[in-house]
Structure 1
């Protein structure tokens, strides 16, 4: 008797195991194989199998991973610089123009408020700092192009970007060394 119950239980479990999984609120169908096509025809409208096209929808997956996965976690400093440059190259032509530079400046400005706009400041009303005026932005862009556009074509290409970054790093290092020497001689 126990053997019969065991055999019947295995048959029932086996039949459930071969049926496609259905999830409430879903309406997409998985590719069907063999006898599953007939079962899919009897599925209730508005139901979908787990995965399907959503499992291959890159945009949908990225939405759910936002803030959970850091794509830059294992990047080298050089890769991070390349990523930063490409992030601001909106038209993907390999060059930053004035509009893209303005976008980069305003993006940086919004994420790096001055001390008068930090949360530690009691007078701060948690508002982002005001953006630079048009005249200030124009002055900044002119300065960037004057200093970093080495071939004077009106754009900053990746090679110019790297060269300018290296020059700034060298200047900062030199300034820091001078400050340390000046501090040690007093």
Structure 2
């Protein structure tokens, strides 16, 4: 088939792993005022064996410990690719972003004497702020790394973007 590139499992694993480092931002500590530091290329998060075990239940701790960093990255990518098409669409990226964020960073203390209606309104505003940040992060990922503009990050796009210098 024209345009198809054959890859060994090791190369494919390295490619997926590299893509994951771009796609998975670390959003802890984000404020509604900004999207925070872009940590798409943060290898530490993707090498978190506990996080990987949380997502890939069929792998034993020994399996994970024996994986190369590229294999762990590939499995991390694969575990977030819910439709198994080797692409992360906006919703899959949103799931990664929201899963790796500090929910409490959006919460404000309840004012003394707050009514149930006021609490509901405050909670709704916090949710809207959180979603605005998440959507901004997804848009940023797609604008920087979706090179063919199909609205998804392919494994190959991720790997290529991992090799770029931060900020380019």
The normalised TM-score by structure 1 is 0.42
Q: Which protein is bigger by CA-based radius of gyration?
A: 1
What TM-score comes out, normalization by structure 2 length? 0.46
